[in-house]
């Protein structure tokens, strides 16, 4: 490789070097885009999970309130002897 590179003309060496720098730059940009996309994906995933957990908590709370109200209703109906 060293003989091949030294055997080239100066213009070809410059073009080869510029192409190498360009290829390295594109590779690093691609890695940066992939890492940024993964970071945004995990942030989005965390937010969605927290929203679902909050919804589950609210649903459980509402179910408990519903059961409490239903129990009070049944108790009051028993007191009024409406089930006889």
Work out the number of other CB atoms within 10 angstroms of the CB of residue 16. Answer: 13
Supply the pLDDT for residue 40.
95
Rounded to a whole number of angstroms, the CA Rg of the chain reads 35
Return d(Cα 31, Cα 24) in angstroms, integer. Answer: 11
On the question of pLDDT at 1 being above 70, the answer is no
Residues contacting residue 77 through CB under 8 Å, at least 6 positions apart: 83
Give yes or no for a contact between 34 and 42, defined as CB atoms under 8 angstroms apart: no
What would the pLDDT profile of 16-70 be if each residue is shown by its tens digit?
889 999 999 999 999 999 999 999 999 999 999 999 888 888 888 888 889 889 8
Supply the pLDDT for residue 84.
55
Residue of higher predicted confidence among 15 and 6: 15
On the question of pLDDT at 82 being above 60, the answer is no
């Amino acid at each position: 490789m060293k003989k091949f590179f030294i055997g080239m003309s100066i213009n070809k060496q410059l073009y080869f070097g510029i192409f190498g720098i360009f290829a390295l730059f594109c590779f690093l940009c691609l890695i940066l885009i992939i890492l940024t996309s993964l970071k945004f994906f995990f942030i989005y995933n965390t937010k969605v999970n927290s929203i679902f957990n909050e919804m589950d908590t609210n649903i459980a709370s509402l179910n408990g309130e519903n059961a409490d109200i239903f129990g009070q209703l049944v108790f009051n109906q028993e007191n009024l002897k409406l089930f006889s």
